[in-house]
């Protein structure tokens, strides 16, 4: 599917440093590669209620990575998916009395316009689960043939004209490295799996954690040609594995998303990548953003405690102020949104813009160096904002130096932080 239009990124003198990123699994910062093409996979939305500040936090966070990598001279290949068919989307469409495609299309469109307003660089490939079905079918057929996936008998009424072809599950026993990622105890894994769309108690599975790869036809659910698997629809984790593999190749340098995806989603999709390629380390670095809360709980579609970007903007918020709300928090921090965040960001934006009037301003070479250093150090946006605040203070001080630095300051915050003044 089409993504959205990327903002122009102004040129800057010189280059940024090699980017270091905190690796969730290692529990420590790690260097990304110093040169060569970078491959990035960030898990996209399930389009049934877009785009809340939690989503925006995730995509603005990884947008900093894209910008820092490019500034360091690396070519970036960026892929993001859209889970445009899945249980929660179908359930919401039924609740609304709406066609599921209409719901997915309208929410994906809203997401695109929110990302455009927030000046998020678009992925090179924006891929829907539905359009990835042929990739999933091929991969799952191969896993069945190789013995790393198996069929489970269907409940009465499922499977259309071929009920003998069961649902297909991954056999996690085929991947000795499964379970070594998130560092959870077996009991925790089972609980988190059950809370995130998993079905540990389904009869016929080899192991409770084995994840669904292909779900056969059910009455009232959409289904697609599954070749030898029979008609059905894809499981969640295999969707991301297949899209990443197809569009990025064998190695994903950074696999990203919000922290809620560490387990089971990222652990399972990486396991699928290992099994499909017979390689031990298809993902080099696992990066996760913090979770944004509202009214005391994680902001989530299922809870309904949402602050939507589009609603803030419709209420008069400048999208650049919304972006500054997010950048004021380190991407890995979890935080709770309040109206005071937007008020503070709106004030900051006004001051920054005030400092841009006229074409003078103090020298900005140090500012550029500070912002670059902050981003290279695990995308530390709050430190970058503080550097710009200091430059703005200097620019607005009585008798300020006036050597024409405003243009470089403007380019710096636009190119590296995505804030257009
Ligand atoms: N479609 C799947 C990923 S393949 C999915 O998780 N969709 S989502 O719409 O629920 O979330 C989209 C992205 O936003 C994910 O990376 C998720 O980790 C992140 N996210 C969801 N809620 C929050 C939140 N409250 N705070 C921060 N990030 C969040
Ligand atoms: Zn995903």
Over the stretch 329-362, which tens digit does the pLDDT of each residue have? 999 999 999 999 999 999 999 999 999 976 688 9
Within 6 A (CB) of ligand 1 lie 43-46, 54-55, 57-58, 81, 83, 240, 257-258, 260-261, 289, 291-292, 298-300
Q: Answer yes or no: is pLDDT of 216 > 70.
A: yes
Closest ligand to Cα 46? 1
Q: Answer yes or no: is pLDDT of 302 > 80.
A: no
Compute the average pLDDT of residues 115-121. 98
**Whole-number percent of the chain with pLDDT over 90:** 93
Q: Answer yes or no: is pLDDT of 248 > 80.
A: yes
Q: Which atom of ligand 1 is nearest to the CA of 239?
A: 4
Can you give the pLDDT at residue 402? 84
Q: Which atom of ligand 1 is nearest to the CA of 288?
A: 18
Q: pLDDT class for 205, splitting at 50, 70, 90?
A: very high
Six-digit token string for 21: 């990123």
**Whole-number percent of the chain with pLDDT over 70:** 100
Mutate to test the pocket of ligand 1, among 56, 79, 260 (most ligand atoms within 8 A of CB): 260
Q: 366 C-alpha vs ligand 1 centroid, how far in Å?
A: 36
Report the candidate in 102, 80, 7, 104 with the shortest Cα–Cα distance to residue 255: 80
Q: What order do you get walking across the sheet with 292-294 strand by strand? A: 297-298, 292-294, 335-336
Can you give the pLDDT at residue 303? 82
Compute the average pLDDT of residues 238-251. 98
Can you give the pLDDT at residue 301? 75
Closest ligand to Cα 262? 1
Can you give the pLDDT at residue 50? 81
Contact in structure between 57 and 289 (CB atoms under 8 Å): yes
pTM of the model: 0.97
- Round to the nearest angstrom and report the end-to-end CA distance of the chain: 31
Compute the average pLDDT of residues 183-202. 94
Can you give the pLDDT at residue 310? 97
Asked whether the CA dihedral 261, 263, 264, 267 is positive or negative, the reply is: positive
Q: Which atom of ligand 1 is nearest to the CA of 298?
A: 25
CA distance 260 to 195: 11
Q: Which residue's CA is the nearest one to ligand 1's atom 12?
A: 45
Over the stretch 54-92, which tens digit does the pLDDT of each residue have? 999 999 999 999 999 999 999 999 999 999 999 999 999
The b-or-e profile of 327-345 (16+ CB within 10 A means b, else e) is bbbbbbebbebeeebbeeb
Q: 55 C-alpha vs ligand 1 centroid, how far in Å?
A: 5
Can you give the pLDDT at residue 300? 82
Q: Which residue's CA is the nearest one to ligand 1's atom 28?
A: 54
Can you give the pLDDT at residue 172? 98
CA distance 94 to 222: 12
Can you give the pLDDT at residue 359? 65
Q: pLDDT class for 328, splitting at 50, 70, 90?
A: very high
């Amino acid at each position: 599917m089409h993504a959205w239009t990327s903002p122009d990124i102004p040129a800057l003198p010189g280059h940024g440093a090699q980017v270091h990123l905190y690796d969730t699994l290692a529990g420590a910062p790690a260097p990304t590669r110093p040169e060569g093409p970078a491959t990035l996979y960030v898990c996209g939305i399930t389009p049934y209620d877009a785009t809340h500040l939690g989503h925006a936090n995730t995509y603005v966070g990884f947008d900093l990575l894209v910008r820092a990598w490019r500034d360091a001279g690396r070519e970036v290949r960026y892929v993001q998916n859209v889970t445009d068919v899945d249980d929660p989307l179908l359930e919401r469409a039924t609740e609304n009395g709406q066609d599921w495609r209409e719901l997915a299309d309208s929410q994906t469109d809203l997401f695109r316009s929110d990302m455009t307003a927030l000046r998020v660089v678009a992925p090179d490939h924006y891929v829907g689960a539905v359009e990835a079905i042929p990739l999933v079918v091929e991969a799952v057929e191969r896993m069945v043939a190789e013995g790393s996936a198996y069929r489970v008998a269907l409940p009465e009424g499922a499977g259309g004209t071929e009920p003998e072809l069961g649902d297909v599950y991954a056999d996690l026993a085929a991947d000795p490295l499964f379970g070594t990622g998130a560092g959870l105890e077996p009991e925790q894994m089972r609980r988190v799996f059950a809370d995130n769309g998993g079905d540990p108690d389904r009869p016929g599975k080899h192991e409770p954690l084995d994840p669904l790869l292909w779900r056969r036809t059910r009455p009232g659910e959409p289904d697609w040609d599954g070749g030898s698997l029979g008609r059905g629809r894809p499981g969640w984790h295999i969707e991301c594995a297949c899209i990443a593999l197809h569009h990025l190749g064998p190695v994903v340098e950074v696999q990203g998303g919000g922290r809620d995806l560490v387990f089971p989603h990222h652990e399972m999709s990486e396991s699928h990548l290992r099994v499909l390629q017979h390689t031990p380390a298809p993902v080099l670095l696992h990066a996760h953003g913090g979770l944004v809360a509202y009214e005391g709980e994680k902001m989530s579609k299922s809870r309904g405690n949402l602050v939507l970007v589009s609603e803030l903007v419709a209420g008069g918020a400048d999208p650049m102020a919304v972006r500054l709300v997010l950048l004021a928090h380190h991407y890995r921090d979890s935080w709770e949104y309040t109206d005071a965040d937007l008020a503070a960001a709106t004030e900051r934006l006004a001051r920054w813009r005030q400092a841009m009037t006229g074409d003078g301003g103090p020298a900005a070479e140090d500012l550029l160096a500070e912002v670059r250093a902050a981003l290279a150090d695990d995308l530390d946006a709050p430190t970058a904002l503080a550097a710009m605040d200091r430059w703005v203070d200097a620019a607005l001080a009585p008798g300020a130096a006036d050597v024409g630095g405003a243009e470089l300051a403007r380019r710096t915050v636009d190119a590296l932080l995505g804030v257009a003044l």
